[in-house]
Amino acid sequence: MLNPFAQAGFILSCARLDQLPADALPEIAFAGRSNAGKSSALNLICGQKQLARVSKTPGRTQLINLFGVPGGRFADLPGYGYAAVPEQVRRDWGKLIGSYMDERQNLVGTVLIMDIRHPLGDHDRQMLAWADHRGLRVHVLLTKADKLGFGAAKATLLKVQKDVGTSATVQLFSSETRAGLPEAQKQLRDWLGIDETATFAKVGGGLGDALS
């Protein structure tokens, strides 16, 4: 099966909501802690090694990065909860993420990235509350599932599923072993209404570099 997200292309980075495109294209946000493997998961889903920058220093992404995909856009949100980031920067990130989650009308769903070894932190629960307030769909990727044995990973999956109830769907995922990749891609195709048999051209690019 062709991966429609292999044609994803960078559109722009922004620090304010008024810098986002003023159209009706649906957007899916990728959110999570700075060290939860969000960029790696996004790259694997799109079949591209360098689409989203993977930094050895968590907390580097301070902007909303938009990527064009068939039928809409992926919005890579700034990672949250990294203690080494200055307090003022963390507050600014929180305002940006909160404004996007509360106000962005294009937003149709959120992929919430959680390290399977440290799921459902305070910021993760805040993201779930934001999404629930707006009636948005949430799909949780429990990343780095390869770091646990099968039994421990399954037990964590069941615990998180019980905790979030009907507010989100949850799955195991590993960027190292590619476990859970087809399931994650199917969820995103369904949200964007992408026909599995369709062919795709390159999407995105040419709208500018990082903005301030």
HSE-CB at 169 with a 13 A cutoff on CA atoms is 14
pLDDT given for residue 89 in this prediction: 60
Query: Please, which residues bridge with residue 74 across strands?
Result: 28, 67
Q: What is the DSSP string of 96-135?
A: HHHHHHHH-TTEEEEEEEEETTS-S-HHHHHHHHHHHHHT
Structure tokens at 39: 């960029």
pLDDT given for residue 50 in this prediction: 82
Tens of pLDDT, residues 1-33: 689 999 899 999 998 999 999 999 999 999 999
Tens of pLDDT, residues 83-122: 555 566 666 677 888 899 999 999 999 999 999 999 999 9
pLDDT given for residue 210 in this prediction: 33
Structure tokens at 129: 């509350």
pLDDT given for residue 200 in this prediction: 55
Residue 128 Cα to chain centre, angstroms: 13
> What are the φ and ψ backbone dihedral angles of 172, each rounded to 5 degrees?
-80, 150
Q: Please write down the long-range contacts of 49-55, taking CB distance under 8 Å and 24 or more positions apart.
A: 51/8, 51/10, 52/76
pLDDT given for residue 34 in this prediction: 83
Which band of pLDDT confidence, cut at 50, 70 and 90, is reported for residue 207? very low
Question: Which residues of the chain form beta strands (DSSP E)?
Answer: 9-14, 27-32, 64-69, 72-76, 107-115, 137-143, 169-172
pLDDT given for residue 212 in this prediction: 31
Tens of pLDDT, residues 56-92: 444 455 789 999 999 999 999 988 865 555 566 666 6
Coil/strand/helix, residue 5? helix
This prediction's pTM = 0.87
pLDDT given for residue 138 in this prediction: 98
